[in-house]
Structure 1
């Protein structure tokens, strides 16, 4: 995955101002360039901070039945995990074969579905035992995955999100994602939150809120300052924001990043222009 941010996003967040050090828990608000857009911008307040495995190359993050699950990437290091939220400890783990680079994941019924990056294959696991039940194929790359009662949503790094049948995982259609009429690419980890699709925009500190019916970006979440690069514990360029989990039972939103030592519960705050 090449470090690239789409033109629409780069121009929107071309100018930002940071809050003073006395208020580190809330994000900065994009200013002049953002004022030219009608898309609402949200900052954040950190509600809780939890440990996160700094070796976890986070590709998928989600809750099922009150439990936190994560999939990690890199060949020879990819895995499916059940994680204790408060301690960050891995409670259950299944490693992928070393030839696979794990990607996004989501719960579908009693199963967990996971993607691979360039192998054109996904895996279906039993959500309780992690036993491999079956596999499925798709064209192109696999990036992010999310689901609701009606569909499974899959990103591939482009500005299109594939809509899959939850029973067969066959592609039904595609959502073309645009912001102010411009295609938004680099859509990565996905999560369904109250009917919207939240998408990490890879290589940035931004999450796009997407209306799945129209494909329009209906909100930007600016997480600049949540965990600055010098606080991530690694100089790796891969240590980017990636991982959104919505606990629908408790109505709590969590985010983390690849190789990040922390996972955050955040509350969104609409910013004034």
Structure 2
């Protein structure tokens, strides 16, 4: 999402999200979604990351690594997966405010924040192919092999046809019956959806069929204060293989290769 650096807001938002992710079941008897594990990422290595990048989306696909950025320098970028160095980039058309990205075969879809469109790119040339209308705000985006999954900053995941972006349904996300809002950058992995939670260093894993949170990642210790100028927070998750991922944040100077070791069944 967009730049906000008020540390007071960050503290309030983080407290609200952690309360939603860890609170006891509601007093009205709503059934709990089950014991949700809370884990911390295990750091395996570190790559460079352009500190000028206001990261909105991050995805690894085969030997390729892509990043979508926002603010006034909204771009679609290809990065070197071994070093994090920028290989090539293209500005979003018409000065659109770029948001989440996802790879669909030879194409890349990129959301815009409030411009009301998604941009389809040619992956080989990083050339825009077309724009399609999208109702509401665009935040995070991923592809589960069949459908696109979009977040809009609320507690809802929205599903879209990957060919023309037609919205085909949605699901509200809860933890113990309570809404988990601020869903932002997304990553689809093995039928589950990982989501960065806006203005926190929390990730949640979501069962998109039921809309329930199945795991929580507390990544507050991932980057020290020196790497968080202006209070910039975690936003960027790319699945590599197995339980290995790349994590980064807005204007962070590094990406972290981590293991997310979630115990038990989903």
Shorter-chain TM-score above 0.5: yes
**Runs of at least 4 residues off by over 6 Å:** none
Question: Can you list the C-alpha shifts for 1:27-55, whole angstroms capped at 9, x where unaligned?
Answer: xxxxxxxxxx8211122210011110000
Residue 10 of structure 1 aligns with which residue? 18
Pick closer, same or farther for the CA change 1:200–1:169 going to 2, 3 Å: same
Scaled by the length of structure 1, what TM-score is found?
0.84
1:97 Cα deviation after fit: 3.9
The residue matched to 2:221 in structure 1 has which SS?
Answer: coil
The residue matched to 2:51 in structure 1 has which SS?
Answer: coil
Distance 2:15 2:85 in 1: 39
1:191 Cα deviation after fit: 0.0
Structure 1 residues without counterparts, runs of 5 or longer: 16-36
Residue 70 of structure 1 aligns with which residue? 67
Distance 1:268 1:65 in 2: 20
Contact 1:63 1:246 (8 Å CA) reproduced: yes
Asked if residue 147 in structure 1 is aligned to residue 139 in structure 2, the reply is no
Residue 41 of structure 1 aligns with which residue? 38
Contact 1:201 1:208 (8 Å CA) reproduced: yes
Distance 2:52 2:140 in 1: 20
Number of residue pairs the alignment of both structures matches: 246
The residue matched to 1:5 in structure 2 has which SS?
Answer: helix
The residue matched to 2:168 in structure 1 has which SS?
Answer: strand
Residue 176 of structure 1 aligns with which residue? 172
Residue 240 of structure 1 aligns with which residue? 233
Distance 2:114 2:36 in 1: 33
Pick closer, same or farther for the CA change 1:252–1:157 going to 2, 3 Å: same
Pick closer, same or farther for the CA change 1:164–1:12 going to 2, 3 Å: closer
1:70 Cα deviation after fit: 0.2
Residue 125 of structure 1 aligns with which residue? 121
Contact 1:5 1:185 (8 Å CA) reproduced: no
Query: Which deviates the most, 63-72 or 258-267?
Result: 63-72
Pick closer, same or farther for the CA change 1:195–1:271 going to 2, 3 Å: closer
Contact 2:187 2:193 (8 Å CA) reproduced: yes
Query: Which deviates the most, 140-149 or 85-94?
Result: 85-94
Scaled by the length of structure 2, what TM-score is found?
0.86
The residue matched to 2:252 in structure 1 has which SS?
Answer: coil
Contact 1:6 1:185 (8 Å CA) reproduced: no
Contact 2:20 2:175 (8 Å CA) reproduced: no
Distance 1:188 1:58 in 2: 11
Larger proportion of helix? 2
1:190 Cα deviation after fit: 0.0
The alignment's C-alpha RMSD in Å is 2.2
